[in-house]
Amino acid sequence: MFTVAELAARVGGEVHGDAHLALKGAATLDAAGPDQLAFFGDPRYRKAFEATAAGAVLVPRSLGGVPGRTVVAVDVPQVAFARLLPLFHPEQRPPAGIREGAFVDPSASVDATATVFPGAYVAAGASVGPRSVLHPGAFVGEGAQVGADSTLHPNVVIRERCLVGDRVILHAGVVIGADGFGFAFDPSVPAHVKIPQVGIARVEDDVEIGANSCVDRATTGETVVGRGTKIDNLVQLAHNVRVGPLSILCAQAGVSGSTELGAGVLLAGQVGVVGHIRVGDRARIGAQSGVAHDVEEGATLSGTPAVPHREWLRNAAAMGQLATLVKEVRALRRRVTELEESRDGDG
Amino acid sequence: MFTVAELAARVGGEVHGDAHLALKGAATLDAAGPDQLAFFGDPRYRKAFEATAAGAVLVPRSLGGVPGRTVVAVDVPQVAFARLLPLFHPEQRPPAGIREGAFVDPSASVDATATVFPGAYVAAGASVGPRSVLHPGAFVGEGAQVGADSTLHPNVVIRERCLVGDRVILHAGVVIGADGFGFAFDPSVPAHVKIPQVGIARVEDDVEIGANSCVDRATTGETVVGRGTKIDNLVQLAHNVRVGPLSILCAQAGVSGSTELGAGVLLAGQVGVVGHIRVGDRARIGAQSGVAHDVEEGATLSGTPAVPHREWLRNAAAMGQLATLVKEVRALRRRVTELEESRDGDG
Amino acid sequence: MFTVAELAARVGGEVHGDAHLALKGAATLDAAGPDQLAFFGDPRYRKAFEATAAGAVLVPRSLGGVPGRTVVAVDVPQVAFARLLPLFHPEQRPPAGIREGAFVDPSASVDATATVFPGAYVAAGASVGPRSVLHPGAFVGEGAQVGADSTLHPNVVIRERCLVGDRVILHAGVVIGADGFGFAFDPSVPAHVKIPQVGIARVEDDVEIGANSCVDRATTGETVVGRGTKIDNLVQLAHNVRVGPLSILCAQAGVSGSTELGAGVLLAGQVGVVGHIRVGDRARIGAQSGVAHDVEEGATLSGTPAVPHREWLRNAAAMGQLATLVKEVRALRRRVTELEESRDGDG
């Protein structure tokens, strides 16, 4: 139980209404009851805000007080909500230690405050930092390093020599550092000859990667996922890709080899990006788009091949008229021919 | 070995021909031999039916007897085939019990008739119902529940508190209940602040989910896969998605957050559906389509953005003429200009 | 350390320049230093070749000697590079043997020279050939066979009775032989009745499959990945698919049931191929394309639905003019109507 005043203090908010009200949970505007906290950030949800049964609501400072309601005015309601929600759902860190049934090579270094569950595996020369947790089936390869406060959910695989920073969350089934997809075709055999992938993958601090996503190791050098970037499930990052900090890559997106995404880039779901290009900072790519060329900073693209979003909308609308257009052009051609004949007849 | 009469009895079929014939297997019309059962349901396979060497064939009741052939007339031949095929390939349930090398928390409840293989893990407070099988590397998190007669293939992960019903089949590498992809951007840091995903994922009875597919847990509340729905490999269901009963989601399809699919919906391969929409009962979405708006019950859509399938076919055909069309419009413009000049010259 | 002469001898190359120079590594033209080997195969990288600090460079025979440079003339520089790179990064095979914590059924057959890591599982009647390596969490099901010199990275799953050849590399999380996606709808329940998938999946020699990719088992018969084919991450091959030898399937591509890909086929990233068709030898399908019909040998297709690549390029360009085109046709219609009126007025 937290009073509205206590909650407001934690996020630098200003209370309008009953500061002493005790809350015991948090939920959306629709679902929250009188002992719960909700948030109202997007003006589109005004009706839900007006109708909510929530005991208190986080609102933008611009809104200020609301008669008959207890509100907490903050800079960004959703951010404040995200920071307060864990209070009501405290995560229990598992007790530290290497559990029986975990496999830790004698030459590996596992911090005394880390947890290694049964069925997890830490190979020779690998290291796991303070308070990190390796769930069952997690694998840390030879010489790989995991920083502090990171979580490897069940069956995460980090291949040899790869680097994972602090406060990283890798969801179940993530594979870091599988071999990049590189072959040279030898027509004399014939065979696709494997190009050894001797580089690594590096995942910087505060990154989160969704279930069953893959970040391949570099041919030489590094594949990099930049600080604070968040990646959804089933995403593919090929060898030598570099993703800048604070980017967002939605589910099932794929980025081909050696492409560089800038800072704060957004790839929506199922986007594909070809290899060897650069997507500029803060570029936003619409769902299912196919990006085949460099993208400028701040651009918003959609479609395959991707074009500026407004243009794509226009084309998509025009597309709906395409069949009609074909008919119309055919009709026009007849009419023009007729006009020409009539003129020539006149002539 | 089963006689045709025995087989017919099990599916309520009517034998025309040799009811005493003993069969020892089942195969397709093309592949079946004289001691095998086949089925003929789709009229397109009539030639294969006429040419088959199968000892007996399941046929629709409307067809009735066929001179010189042993047939079993049933309501739906393919269904009857599906029900009879297991007779020839009896699945051996592994012996019940918790094998040495399995990890079961003392506070977990595993039914005495369930099987837990070495390397599987059942966490504190979790429960596994009668006759369910956890293959090596399967993980059932804290307080998660698995019903009766369900199968978790190797390396399936069910995160804490998630619910899996009866007769559910989860193929290798499936992840149920990974955190939904939810962040609030705090420009003052800057950082994407994680929104705790405190809900669960619930998989109802008779669901089957393909290898390496992901069903994320809800932000709050539940992500739901409805009774009898079948999901193929590498499919992504985001937080708070609800899939109605008896739907079919083909490989690599993805559904974004809070979207609701009705009953009996079909998503073909690689379809993407945006968040916060509703796809009506029995809607059918063509392969690779991108659905950005609510879909009516029973609609058949294709394309990105998805439009009625007939329209998409027309557009796709017109698309092939687009380059020609551009040229033609250019030619028409010249001819019209000429006509105008000639008229004005006349004037 | 290897001399240029030693390296040249291993790939049948001809040295121009300092054959005694000792090299201790290999890198790209950009990154290589004076004690490293690089390669120059693609004329587009001529500037990088001219500027490189590499001690020696593999070049095409047609180039021959280059004044002031040490070069090794070979048939295909990239192939020679791929063959030489491992010399500088020798892979250490782990010591043979079944490690403590590995689970091997007494009736399984594991060659004495194979390595089975802790947490790997070999089921009853399965076999693992000489020098193959099963990393932690790898699973070989009942009666499945793995040949010689193959590598199963962590958490690879090979289901019962499936066959994996020699020198096969399966990356982390690969699933071979999950049930194909086959159901018969029984309206009388209603239910999707599972069609037992009693066939297998067979992976031929020298295949490599990327992380978290899936190859389903056949309904009856075999799903086949042909000799020397290379498959990237998160790829889906459905039941009864047959992929010919030496094909290349890029990340997130998907092939539906019973489709046959010929020899040397290339599917770029995120391609989808419908079921029951044939894609001819050496066909090349562009990224994100959707293939709905048979493809001729050697064809190059793009788009959804896929059309010849040149046509797709023309259409994509025309697409950009579509909105303009609609306006123009509207204008033309007005002008033609005016001309008609003016003619009729004249008449």
Tell me which of A108 and B319 has the higher pLDDT. Answer: A108
Report the distance separating Cα A122 and Cα A106, nearest Å: 9
Express each pLDDT in B127-138 by its tens digit.
999 999 999 999
Report the distance separating Cα B306 and Cα B295, nearest Å: 9
Would you call C318 helix, strand, or coil by DSSP? helix
Express each pLDDT in C2-52 by its tens digit.
999 999 999 999 999 999 999 999 998 999 999 999 999 999 999 999 999
Question: Which has the minimum average pLDDT: A284-288, A332-336, C130-134, C342-346?
Answer: C342-346
Look up B293 and say whether it is catalytic.
Answer: no
Express each pLDDT in A192-241 by its tens digit.
999 999 999 999 999 999 999 999 999 989 999 999 999 999 999 999 99
B139 contacts chain A (CB < 8 A): yes
ipTM for the complex shown: 0.94
pLDDT band at B320 (very low <50, low <70, confident <90, very high): confident
Tell me which of C332 and A104 has the higher pLDDT. Answer: A104
Report the distance separating Cα B299 and Cα B285, nearest Å: 8
Q: From the CA of A146, how many Å to the nearest CA of chain C?
A: 17
Residue A18 has pLDDT above 70, yes or no: yes
What's the average model confidence in pLDDT over B44-49? 94
Q: Of the candidates B203, B290, B201, which has an alpha carbon nearest to the alpha carbon of residue B240? A: B201
Q: Which residues of C touch A319 (CB under 8 A)?
A: 322
Q: Which residues of B touch C195 (CB under 8 A)?
A: 78, 81-82, 85
3-state DSSP of B211-275: CCCEECCCCCCEEEECCCCEECCCCEECCCCEECCCCEECCCCEECCCCEECCCCEECCCCEECC
pLDDT at A59: 97
Residue B346 has pLDDT above 70, yes or no: no
pLDDT at C346: 63
* Exposure class string for C246-274: b at 16+ Cβ within 10 A, else e: bbbbbbbbbbbbbbbbbbbbbbbbbbbbb
The partner residues of C242 in beta bridges, in order of sequence, read C224, C260
- Contacts (Cβ under 8 Å, ≥6 apart) of A145: A126, A127, A129, A162, A163, A164
The token duo for C262 is 């010929």
Whole-angstrom CA distances from A39 to A9, A70, B191, B200, B276 are 16, 12, 19, 21, 18
Annotated catalytic residue within A16, A153, A171, A239: A239
pLDDT at B342: 87
Annotated catalytic residue within B16, B89, B239, B309: B239
Chain A residue with the nearest C-alpha to that of B332: A333
Q: Are A222 and A197 in contact (CB under 8 A)?
A: no
pLDDT at A346: 64
What's the average model confidence in pLDDT over A317-344? 85
pLDDT at C325: 85
Give the residue from B175, B302, B325 with the most A CB atoms within 10 Å of its CB, the best one to mutate: B175
Matching residue, tokens 């290899």: A275
Q: From the CA of B199, how many Å to the nearest CA of chain A?
A: 10
* Identity of the residue in A28, A119, A287 whose CB atom sits nearest the CB atom of B290: A287
pTM score of the predicted model: 0.95
Annotated catalytic residue within C20, C239, C276, C309: C239
pLDDT at A207: 98
Chain A residue with the nearest C-alpha to that of C329: A329
CB pairs under 8 A between A and B: 185
Neighbour tally for C185: CB within 10 Å: 17
Report the distance separating Cα B302 and Cα A105, nearest Å: 53
Report the distance separating Cα B327 and Cα C321, nearest Å: 11
% of chain A exceeding 90 in pLDDT: 84
Q: Which residues of B touch A27 (CB under 8 A)?
A: 220
Residue B193 has pLDDT above 80, yes or no: yes
Domains of chain B: 2-88 (3.40.1390.10), 97-309 (2.160.10.10)
pLDDT at C179: 98
pLDDT at A70: 97
Residue A343 has pLDDT above 90, yes or no: no
Angle between helices C322-346 and A322-346 (to 10 degrees): 30
What's the average model confidence in pLDDT over A251-279? 98
Q: From the CA of C201, how many Å to the nearest CA of chain B?
A: 14
What's the average model confidence in pLDDT over B337-345? 87
pLDDT at A320: 77
Report the distance separating Cα C135 and Cα C116, nearest Å: 6
Q: Which residues of B touch A269 (CB under 8 A)?
A: 236, 254, 256, 272
pLDDT at C305: 92
What's the average model confidence in pLDDT over C227-232? 98
- Contacts (Cβ under 8 Å, ≥6 apart) of B53: B32, B33, B34
Report the distance separating Cα B154 and Cα B139, nearest Å: 9
pLDDT at A92: 83
Residue B347 has pLDDT above 80, yes or no: no
Give the residue from B105, B153, B304, B334 with the most A CB atoms within 10 Å of its CB, the best one to mutate: B304
Phi, psi of A338 (to 5 degrees): -60, -45
Phi, psi of C199 (to 5 degrees): -85, -165
C318 contacts chain A (CB < 8 A): no
Q: What is the mean pLDDT of chain A?
A: 95
Q: What is the mean pLDDT of chain B?
A: 95
Q: Residue A74: enclosing H or E segment and its boundaries?
A: strand A71-74
Report the distance separating Cα C61 and Cα C42, nearest Å: 13
Q: From the CA of A342, how many Å to the nearest CA of chain B?
A: 11
Q: Of the candidates C211, C218, C226, C112, which has an alpha carbon nearest to the alpha carbon of residue C152? A: C211
Would you call C79 helix, strand, or coil by DSSP? helix
pLDDT band at A321 (very low <50, low <70, confident <90, very high): confident
